[in-house]
Every structure is written in C-alpha cells, then in structure tokens.
Amino acid sequence: MTGELTPSVIKRIIRQVGLKCAAQGQSLSETLVAFMVKAVVLDPRNDFNMDQILTENDLQDLIQLCVTRLLDTTNPSLSTIKMQVYFDMNYANRDELLSEQEHVLEGKVAPVVRGITESGPHAQEEMDNVYQKIVTYALLRSGLGSPTDVEAIREVTAALQSVFPQTEMITFILLSKKDKEQQLKDLAMLVTGIRLYNKQCQKGGSGIDDLPNILHEAIPSATRTLDERLNSCQLLAHRYTALLESMQEDPHRHSQIGIFKLKEALFNVRQHEAFLCILQSNAIISAQEVESLDVKFEAAMMVLKNTVQDKISIESKEVFPLFMELSKLWTGYQNEMLLLSFITNMADNLQQFLEIQSQLFPEEMLTSLLEGVTVKSDEERIKETMGTRVNVSDFKNQEWLFPETSDNFDQLLIQYHGFCAHSIGVKGITLPGNPAIGILKHKEKYYVFSSKEAAYIFAQDPDKFIQLNVEKAKKYAELIQLLELRHQFEYLVPRTQARNAKKGLMKPPPKCDSGTQTDTHILPPTIVRSYEWNEWELRRKAIKLANLRRKLTHGMQTHLSHMRRENCTQVYLPKEAGTQTKRDNSSNVPKPQIFLKGLRGGSSGPTHMVTVDLTRPLDET
C-alpha cells in the first residue's frame, strides 16, 4: 500500500481505520473516519505531506494515529468533530425537510394509488372495493386518524360520498392515470376540509388532534429550552475564554491545567452555540408561521360558515375551494409540528457532545479556577469597545467599512464566523468581533476585530495573520467548520456538506450567474488550402503540371449539350417621349343679316323688291 495519498489509497486507509475501531467496539461513520484521516494528515505536528510518497511504515503510523484519536474518550476535539459530522448529516432546512416528508408520504400511499389507478373494475363488487380504497387513500393522505379507527373511516366515507358518490365511479374509471391521480389528491383535500369543518361544528373530528393549541404550547416550551441551553453554552464559552486569557497573561498560573484541552473545550461550546443559534432561528420562524396560520385558518373557517350556514344544498364551485383552502392550512399546521419535532430532536441529540468537556472541567473546578478572574460576556466585550474605531487616514492602502456608512451592511459575509481575525491565530481563542471598530476589506473579504489595537496589528500584514489562522485550523481540525474555512480545506469537508452547501454551518459565500462572449476568430482566417506538407504530394502535383504542358485541350458538343450554352442579351427599354402639335385657334365673323322688301307686291302696279343688307362690317367685330 506504499505510495502517494491518492483517493484510492485514502479509501483503503479509511476502511482499515474503520475496521480497527469496530474491533475495539466503536462503530463510526465513514464520513467521520474520513474527516479524521485527513485531519491527522493535515496536522503539521504529525509530519505528513499530502504530496509525498509514504512508505508502509508511514501508512501504518497514520492508521494508528487515526485510531488513537478516534478512540480517545477524553478528547473534546473529537466530540466537536462528531458534533459537526452529526449536524451536517442530519440537519435540513425547512424546504428540504418538507420536501422529504412529502416524498415519504407519497411512498406511503403509492401502493393504494396504484391499486386505484391501475384497476379497471366492471362488476359492482369490484367498484365497491375500489371505492373503499379511495376512502383509505383519503384517510392516509390527510393524516387525520388511523385506517383501523372505525369512527374515522365512517367520517371519511360520509364526507367522500357527499362530494363523490359511488355513481360517479364509472366516469372515474374512464379517466387517464394522470387525471385519476390528480382527482384523488383533490378528493383527499375536500374530505379533509369537510372533516375539519365538521369538527369545528362539533359534528365529528375523530382522530383529529387540536394542532393549533398543541403548537401554542409546544413552541414556547421548545424556545425556552433552546434559550436555556444557549445561555448555558454561552456562559461556559465566556468562562473558558476568561480562564484562557488569565493563563496567557500569567503562564505559571494554573499550570496543572492543559491549555490545549481548555482550547478544545472552548471550541466545543462555541460550535454547540452556533448550532443552537441555527435551531433557535428555525423555532422563531415556526412561531411566526403558526401565528400567520392562525389568522388565515380562522378567517377561512368564518367565510366557510357564512357560506354554508343552514343551507341544504350549495353549489360546488362556491364551497369546494373553501374546503380545499382549509385542507392546505391544516397541512401547514402538520408541517410546523414536523419541523418543531425535528428541531427538538436535533437539540436533544446535540447535548451528548458536551459531556466530555463537562467531565474534564466540572462546575466545581471552574469555580475555583476563576477566583479573582473577571468573566466578561460577548455583549460586555463589545460594549467596552463601542467608543473606539479605526482612523481611516492611518491606512493608505486599506479599505475600511463602518455599519453606518456601508450599504447592505447586514449582507456582508464576515470571515471567521464574526470572531476577531487577530485573536484566533495569535492567542488561539475566539473573541467576538465588533463591527463598530471597523471592518477591514482585504482581497474582497471582510474581517472584524475585538479591539482597535488588534485591528491595527492585523492591518499591517493581513496575509501573515490569515496564514496564522490557517495554521491554527490545521492543529485544531474543528476550526475548519467553526470558522468557515471550508474554501481553504475543501478536501476536508464532509461529503454530504460538499454535496449541499446549504447544509453547512454557515451560509455559503454569495454567488451569481455571469457570462462572457468572445469572438471565435478575431483575425480573418489565413488558411492556405493548397498548402501541402508532404513532399511526395508536392512531387505528384509537379509531375502533373509538367504533363499538362504537353497536352492539348479539346472540346466537343453533343446532342445533349447542344443549345445549352448560357447566353444573356441586353436591350434598351422603350423611351418615354412626347410631341406637341400646332396651336388650336378660332375667329369670329359677323353673321349675315339680309332682308328683302316688297315680295308680296301691291294692288296696282308692278312689284318692286328692295334688298336691305344689315350685316355689320368685318372690322367692327
């Protein structure tokens, strides 16, 4: 098994460590063993190197060191790592937990759903069996009562018959499988809403717990328990911190106490405090959700009562949505019950990881050791430094931020879980940072400090102190998760945490989607298609060209190609033109007026005719 620490070699080491621990009566998870193996390799005191080639003796020493640390029942560091692994593998946020619960419920009712949707009954007895399965499905889906409770089955059957009589089974059978599944869910919600309304009217409600009142009592109780445990944990952290500070000021004081174990105990309670804060925030959210559900449920029930009243028949389009709304709100109560139970169980299970440090430093010992030592809480330490702040003019190349001058200050991701960036690497203790002193922005990361002096010292050479913090985390592997150093020790992150960053102790670094586009070919292509690298190919082309010089080009025309030549003709388009003829004119001549006199003659004598021309002269016209 000699070689580098490749993944395959590490897997074999993990397997052997697990087997040896199991032989000693300790059954440990693979995640915990893997974390411990790599933590031992990372610790500089063990002189291992991830890149070096290890001999067989080195590998055996590594295995033995891991087994020794995993079997050490007096090691607070091991308890902290176990606590981190447990929380990482078991904690889930609201959305994940509810999604998992929905998946479990779907698996629970899946056999009943298949029996309903995949059957094609024809006889009346078969239809009755399918109808009874629908009753069972509605009861299981709602979670209101047991399938063995006769009274609950009777209520479900009566409610189902009021919205889905058996005469509609023929229409139901003709539906597709997808439509059947959807109608089953709708029927289950309607039945649940009807049963809740009947319970409110004191006409039923067998097997239905009074979830609102149960939650009103359970949430305050759980919150009080979390507060008590959190206060106790914080008090221990404050006492350990004060004791460590006094020992560092006077090294000869309490020399019989191992400072190494005391630091491990401090990190243990700090980690427990962080996990309790997460559970406490979830409990607060649950309390707010229950208050919102109370208002909505009471309003929905009031609307439903006003709609139904004492009416004998009501249109389904009016009342069905109200019943379904009641069902959805009741599902919200059930979800909050599940979340509260999960929070309580997590808090109870975390208590076991405090036992070792409490055994090493019992209450009587701490009381005697702290005689003459001032124990300060985190709030008191921050209050003492509220009047001091960094003078920005003292730093030319450093950027400092302050809460009152920074936009979105609450969104800043403070490094090291908000602890002082100077005290971790220098003193090896976790002191609360005070943002009012000043937040140092270094390489797009933000750091806070416990005092103005610590801020000035850190700002002189930030990279140096950041590396000191990394080295401290190598000695105390539990600091990797406590101080949010996962980005620097990615290969030490448990697999479940690496798979889902949301399960980690703290919120992951903010990320955003971005994209860039570049030209495929900025310069125009310069590919010479006629280029040949093969000299034989060039020789072949040369011979071909030489032969062409002695060849004649012939052309002929066949019947198929006759008159196939492409021709084009250009013509002049007719020009638009116009001509003008001579001018039209007219003249006016006098109208002839000639009169004759004496045509009738007379009684005597001859007739004398006289011509009178009255036409006007031409020049007068």
CA triplet 242, 456, 383: central angle to 5 degrees? 45
Distance CA 591, CA 343 (A): 130
Q: Which pLDDT does position 286 carry in this prediction?
A: 94
Domains of the chain: 7-71 (no CATH), 119-201 (no CATH), 211-370 (1.10.287), 385-491 (no CATH)
CA atoms within 13 A on the CB side of 94: 15
Are 229 and 344 spatial neighbours (Cβ–Cβ below 8 Å)? no
- Residues of the chain falling short of pLDDT 50: 1, 491-509
pLDDT digits (tens, 9 = 90+) for 542-579: 888 888 777 766 666 666 665 665 667 777 777 787 77
Residue 520 DSSP one-character state: S
Question: Among all chains, which residue has been given the structure tokens 């009684």?
Answer: 603
Q: What pLDDT was estimated at residue 498?
A: 43
Residues 244, 246, 250: CA angle, nearest 5 degrees: 115
- What the block records as the tokens of 254 is 């309490």
Whole-model pTM: value is: 0.74
Residue 328 has what pLDDT? 93
Burial degree of 143 (CB within 10 A; 0-12, 13-18, 19+): middle
Structure tokens at 525: 């292509």
CA dist., res. 106 & res. 103, Å (int): 5
Task: Pick left, alpha or beta for residue 500 (phi over 0 → left; psi -120 to 50 → alpha; otherwise beta).
Answer: beta
Query: Which pLDDT does position 508 carry in this prediction?
Result: 43
Max CA pair span of the chain = 192
Q: How far is 379 from 358, CA to CA, in rounded Å?
A: 24
The Cα 274–Cα 121 span in angstroms is: 58
Here the tokens at position 224 are 């009080």
